[in-house]
Structure 1
Amino acid sequence: MPEPKDAPEPKDTPEPKAMPDPKAMPDPKNAPEPKNAPEPKAALEPKDAEPPAADARVAAVRRLAAAGRRRHAARLTGCAALLAVALTAGAVAVGNTRDGRTAPAAASAVVSPQWQTAGDPDAGVRALQAHLRTQPRDFTGWATLGLAYVEQARTKGDPSRYPQAERALKRSLALAPGNDQALAGRAALAAARHDFTGALACADQALRENPYSERALSLRIDALVELGRYREAARAADTADARRPGVPVFTRYAYVRELRGETDEARRVLEQALAGASSRGDVAYVATQLGQLAWSQGDHAGALRFYARALAADDGYLPALEGRARAQAASGDTTAAIRGMEQVVARYPLPGPLVELGELYEARGRAGDRAKARAQYALVDAWVALARANGVDADLDTALAAADHGDARAALRAARAEWARRHTVHTADALAWALHVNGRDAEALRYARQATATGYRNAAFLYHRGMIEAKAGRTRDARTHLGAALALNPGFSPLGARAARAELKRLEASR
């Protein structure tokens, strides 16, 4: 994470004048393989069949949470059997949202059009499996299957797909060493496991082989963003836009601009991407990105319109359902928001929507709502335990949830661990808030400033900074940032917005 003096200056990234020489690109000769990927014995086994329905995944997480409550002291031992069941059922979903945002990697389908059946990616995977049984030396097919498994893990919450993805990608590389499709697949797999250093190395290796690989160009941007290397990410986005303009690149280009505070430019690029989107998946994805951007800037009515467009393209698209619920909550329609968020967590109990639903229950305040909220927060703990057991870095999820609704010391440990791996605005904010809830506001202030140093307009970050400043005795600054948070997005959090108003009122009364 750069210090404030090193923060990217807005609007200073020139468009590339000429195509960079591929030979000048980074050349990691031994790109690290995604970590924690055990070597399976075969590539296409019965276990490659589709995972059970979402309710089985949810039930597995809930059983683990219940086991943890009953026997907290013996949690890991007592839950081993449940863990095995949960992993088989695909209980853990990875690829957490950021501020209710979906990862840009969702922008494009991983299964090539020739393997898609009536728009059903799962049918495409089955078709690929059948094809590879008869054509086992098709290295492109193996690379495509590996990418498809990564996508299934992300969209279905099934990390058991990762070893299958690794095996398929290795098979592709064994058949055709250095093929860029498989190298880009390895980058996607590393990113899915939150190994962003490995993802960057694999993407660079793929680009050595094919400087025009859309997937590798896109994943390189993702990795640089997730490592907090924002200036490099901006240059990578410009390069990708010059080489392979399209929906996957446009959405990443927009997010890099948003991180720099250039929300108007981000909106313009996303609108261009939506105008050029042809598939239902791309329309749903880009419209959802526009909805999330509108919500983050306080345009809740506009957000709802974009979510409606996304759901018209795909009525089951979870990020749009989640975003619509957040926008409904911000608009004051708590009943609809709770109903919508319940629908989301019933299918995939991920930390972001679980915390949001818990806070919605608390904000509503009916009889029994407090207990319902606690149940959601307990499920977050269960999710984190399962994710970690499956080799996924879940420290950012832990830090954010535990700071507000769990063990403050655990939140700080997790935030420090994540900060040690990567310095981003999100990890800086998480560490600042974890320090705050542990009463270490003087130390927290440094990180709160770094979280807002790039110009990224995020109401939660401003709220955290204002609350930290209030505790640190910087009353004037606290009023400024709490007021800015509420002006930017008055519905940024069911409980956080309420706390910001109360603290701002207290500060104003003490003037």
Structure 2
Amino acid sequence: MPPRTTDSAPERRDDDHPRPDQGGGAAAEAGDGLRPDSAGVAEGGHDTDPVPGAVSTGGADSPGTHAANGTGTEGTPGTHDHDRPRAGNGSAAEGDPDGHGGSGPRPENDPGAGERVAAVRRAADGGRRWRAAHLAGCAALLAVALTGGAVAFGSVGDGRAGAGVEAVSAGGALAPGVLARGDLDSGIGSLQKHLRAQPRDFGSWATLGIAYVEQARTNGDPSRYPQAERALKRSLELDPGNDQALAGRAALAAARHDFTGALKDADRALKENPYNERALCTRIDALVELGRYEDAAEAARTADGRRPGVPVFTRYAYVKELRGDVRTARDVLERALEAADSPADTAYVATSLGQLAWNQGEYKTALGHYARALAADEDYLPALEGRARAQAANGDRGAAVEGLEQVVARFPLPGPLVALGELYEDRGADGDRAKAGDQYALVDAWTSLARAGGVNADLDSAMAAADHGDKKEALRAARAEWNRRHSVHTADALAWALHVNGRDEEALPYARRATATGYRNAGFLYHRGIIERATGNEREARDHLKAALDLNPGFSPLGAREARTTLKDLEGSR
């Protein structure tokens, strides 16, 4: 599976404020001491504010991959009692709620989305003709991947007391909870209408900005990123310290893979409101992506002390997994699944459990978790992709190919495209090599579109190009990404890019670093073993190739095959 570095959990309903009887939450109940001193947060009521001395804002905020961050659809607009939204003329000078030059609301429902998806697939069958057609067709699907999971699938409250999900502000703005329930398009339209009447409602500007980020993910419309940026900027012009907009800007930065910027804005939001859930979760995500795992663990403990819930639990579990503590990661996720009270929560957490099981080679267990996720949400794409990978590893290649074909027909993103291409290559039927080449070509187009949208796609580019594209470009991208952040995933990507360019002595220290945290990843072990063989370290190569195959023998159709062949050669030469 691709890294889950910024995946985000569905956020809790607006009325699900932490209660004293929640104790330490699922993470603490797992017995790992995540929250030794935490007593939770007071039950949310209209007269309760978890921030001493603060005025209730009712704002809502969510996570930011592993992975990656909230939909920004929470809170009663206009967050400070001393600065209620004032009526205005709705002129363009006050800001454009439509986000596209003031020409009125854009159509939010896109009847051409299915046609664009079909265009992507036609492009894959068109040989050299694929590029122009795909660049048009894939544009509408790109934003789903651009967030890297950095946007949560629902909305979270920020811990402030206030109205429930049905509430409407005094100025008539739509309550963000409506957006959280999935009525995103009409909710955005209502916010736009409200902001034309109340252009100084900074809370609604913040909500609109983060809703645009979420819409980029759900509708595949990358034009929403600059719209989100403008809306969040307008909110901060009206109230420079409002935590909703700062947390939204952090989520937007994470969506664009600017994790340094995401951390900076999350910290600013938390300075204003230490209970802002979106900022708390985005902060964890950013630290994970930057490779600061000790800091990420501490951030998870802090977040669990302030806002225990599924978004925090899933992030904490991933931090534990990255450090090799699979048992605690599983315990936390299982308790989070028990606490899940919505289909979105159930689908997300069950999928995380499936990914964890798949990484350990427990394919039947993984398939069971994916089945539970899909029972909660039959269209949940991460579960559909995960199920297909588990089916392939478990020997059901036909079902895996069919499943991945369905996934990429809807969302042609690098991870499933590469996985499908490798399954075609491994199957080797007539026309399969050409089909595989089409999948890899679509990855190149995705990379171009991502960069055109202002998103840093170097890690995705390096991982795909090293095996299936321009090897020099893979090395350039991997070096650029390593210069930005030192995570296990960037270390592995750089090691492998150096290897495929014949620079194994340079590669070996990075391969060692990728496996130094104890993260149980068969792909990393395989890369290290291959590089060790190339540098003459045959004993270490045997150890790591065997460890990769013992851990997850179906980690990659082509990689596992090469690992077995190389290990057999090494055993024969002893």
Structures share fold, TM-score greater than 0.5: yes
Of the three residues 41, 46, 66, the one matched with 2:105 is: 46
Specify the code of the residue in structure 1 equivalent to 2:144.
Answer: A
- C-alpha deviations, 1:15-40, integer Å up to 9, x for none? 46479xx99xxxxxxxxxxxxxxxx9
Task: Look up the match of 1:347.
Answer: 410
Greater alpha carbon shift after TM alignment, 454-463 vs 128-137:
128-137
Of the three residues 351, 375, 385, the one matched with 1:312 is: 375
Task: Look up the match of 1:187.
Answer: 250
Q: Is the 8 A contact 1:57 1:86 kept in 2?
A: yes
Greater alpha carbon shift after TM alignment, 132-141 vs 224-233:
132-141
Task: Look up the match of 1:294.
Answer: 357
Residue 283, structure 1, aligned to residue 346, structure 2: yes
Tell me by how many angstroms 1:127 deviates. 3.8
Specify the code of the residue in structure 2 equivalent to 1:471.
Answer: A
Correspondence 1:255-266 to 2 at 5 A: 255-266=318-329
- C-alpha deviations, 1:367-409, integer Å up to 9, x for none? 1111100000000011111111111111111111111011111
What is the TM-score normalised by the length of structure 1?
0.86
Distance 2:278 2:143 in 1: 25
Distance 1:13 1:411 in 2: 41
- C-alpha deviations, 1:200-231, integer Å up to 9, x for none? 00000000000011111000000011111111
Aligned to 1:47, the other structure's residue is in SS state coil
Distance 1:126 1:280 in 2: 26
Count how many residue pairs are aligned between Structure 1 and Structure 2: 471
Q: Is the 8 A contact 2:313 2:333 kept in 1?
A: yes
- C-alpha deviations, 1:215-257, integer Å up to 9, x for none? 1100000001111111111110111111110011111111111
Q: Is the 8 A contact 1:64 1:382 kept in 2?
A: no
Structure 1: gaps of 5 or more residues = 1-10, 24-39, 98-102
Q: Is the 8 A contact 1:106 1:285 kept in 2?
A: no
Distance 1:108 1:266 in 2: 23
Greater alpha carbon shift after TM alignment, 285-294 vs 117-126:
117-126
Distance 1:86 1:321 in 2: 20
Tell me by how many angstroms 1:146 deviates. 1.4
Residue 368, structure 1, aligned to residue 414, structure 2: no
Aligned to 2:144, the other structure's residue is in SS state coil
Of the three residues 465, 478, 482, the one matched with 1:415 is: 478
Correspondence 1:203-222 to 2 at 5 A: 203-222=266-285
Distance 1:263 1:152 in 2: 34
> Considering only CA atoms, is the larger Rg found in Structure 1 or Structure 2?
2
Structure 2: gaps of 5 or more residues = 1-30, 40-50, 53-93, 99-103, 157-164, 166-174
Aligned to 2:454, the other structure's residue is in SS state coil
Task: Look up the match of 2:504.
Answer: 441
Of the three residues 126, 144, 157, the one matched with 1:93 is: 144
Of the three residues 467, 490, 507, the one matched with 1:404 is: 467
Distance 1:86 1:393 in 2: 17
Aligned to 1:50, the other structure's residue is in SS state coil
Distance 1:253 1:62 in 2: 38
Greater alpha carbon shift after TM alignment, 166-175 vs 377-386:
166-175
Q: Is the 8 A contact 1:194 1:392 kept in 2?
A: yes
Of the three residues 467, 470, 494, the one matched with 2:530 is: 467
Q: Which has the higher helix share?
A: 1
Q: RMSD value over aligned CA atoms?
A: 2.8
Tell me by how many angstroms 1:454 deviates. 0.7
- C-alpha deviations, 1:411-461, integer Å up to 9, x for none? 111111111111110000000000111111111100000000111110100
Distance 1:46 1:64 in 2: 31
- C-alpha deviations, 1:475-497, integer Å up to 9, x for none? 11011001111111111111111
What is the TM-score normalised by the length of structure 2?
0.76
Change in 2 beyond 3 A, CA 1:358/1:410? same
Greater alpha carbon shift after TM alignment, 355-364 vs 113-122:
113-122
